[in-house]
């Protein structure tokens, strides 16, 4: 998403450690919401489960009340891409659910999203969509570890997606990743495609939410009358995966992954570079 503040915020080590606390709470809250996302369950109940984990850790939601957003998570199903409301919608076998959530600890934010393939009867093309979106996120994070400019993240995501065999997936251009820290959405924008410009220089102390959104069809989207829910115009299914990543002296640290990104980065020959408390 494109959000105002042009100045990039650089975090101290102790501030990044606070963001890590928020990231770990968020990872646990997403674990529980994802585990509960079964056929027959409402998306509102996932919102409650997520909120209880935040409460348990004295963390707060950065989604609830954000420009009037009514919930702790976005729950977007099938052709809904992002920003869907949790509701009394009952999940069905084969649904493609995106859960996007955030947490604040001591004023420091984390933001992360996962795609859940609900139940057993999954369309193989939806499975492929989610897998390529998740791997594209990791390709972007791995590239970030060695990149000099923010634009190289989108290039890596774009290269990964377009190099996959089979039907080419669409990369949404209307929405993008973002800087994060003392607020959820900060400068700079982190595009998910090769925009042909390098963007700001990457420096230690930056933190970015990297969040590719891919679709099986055309990339044109609309916002529903609720003023939030983003849907694909051709009703094709969408996937979103997101992590909050901090730049440290040695590379990247994935704040919203329990292992700091070790497993996701390993196939790219990259190790996370955590800050030691």
Footprint of Mg ion (CB under 5 A): 100, 111, 113, 209, 242
Alpha helices in 115-194 (DSSP H): 124-146, 151-162
Shortest reach from residue 228's CB to Mg ion, in Å: 13
- Alpha-carbon distance of 272 to 69, in angstroms, equals 33
The Cα angle at residue 176 between residues 173 and 180, in degrees rounded to 5 = 170
- Alpha-carbon distance of 199 to 150, in angstroms, equals 5
Shortest reach from residue 210's CB to Mg ion, in Å: 9
Q: Which two tokens stand for residue 157?
A: 């995501």
Q: Which is nearer to Mg ion, 209 or 270 (CB)?
A: 209
Q: Which helix (H) or strand (E) holds 78?
A: none
Shortest reach from residue 124's CB to Mg ion, in Å: 27
- Report the relative pairing of strands 73-77 and 207-210 from DSSP bridges: unpaired
Shortest reach from residue 66's CB to Mg ion, in Å: 11
Q: Which is nearer to Mg ion, 137 or 219 (CB)?
A: 137
Residue carrying the six token digits 């774009």: 158
Q: Which is nearer to Mg ion, 111 or 189 (CB)?
A: 111
């Amino acid at each position: 998403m494109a959000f105002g503040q042009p100045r990039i915020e650089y975090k101290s080590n102790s501030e990044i450690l606070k963001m890590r606390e928020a990231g770990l709470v968020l990872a646990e809250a997403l674990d529980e919401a994802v585990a509960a996302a079964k056929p027959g369950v409402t998306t509102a109940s996932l919102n409650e489960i997520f909120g209880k984990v935040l409460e348990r850790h004295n963390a707060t939601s950065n989604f609830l009340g954000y420009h009037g957003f009514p919930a702790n998570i976005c729950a977007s199903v099938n052709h809904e891409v992002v920003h869907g409301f949790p509701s009394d919608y009952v999940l069905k076998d084969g649904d493609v659910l995106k859960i996007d959530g955030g947490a604040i600890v001591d004023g420091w934010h984390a933001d992360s999203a996962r795609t859940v393939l609900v139940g057993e009867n999954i369309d193989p093309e939806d499975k492929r969509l989610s897998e390529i979106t998740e791997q594209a996120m990791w390709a972007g994070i791995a590239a970030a570890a060695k990149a000099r400019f923010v634009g190289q993240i989108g290039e890596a995501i774009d290269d990964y997606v377009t190099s996959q065999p089979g039907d080419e997936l669409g990369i949404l251009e209307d929405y993008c990743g973002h800087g994060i820290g003392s607020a959820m959405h900060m400068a700079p924008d982190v595009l998910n495609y090769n925009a042909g410009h390098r963007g700001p220089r990457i420096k230690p102390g930056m933190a970015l939410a990297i969040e590719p959104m891919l679709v099986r069809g055309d990339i044109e989207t609309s916002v529903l009358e609720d003023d939030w829910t983003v849907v694909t115009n051709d009703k094709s299914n969408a996937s979103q995966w997101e992590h909050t990543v901090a730049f440290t002296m040695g590379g990247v640290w994935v704040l919203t992954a329990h292992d700091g990104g070790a497993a996701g980065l390993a196939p790219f020959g990259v190790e996370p570079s955590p800050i030691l408390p």
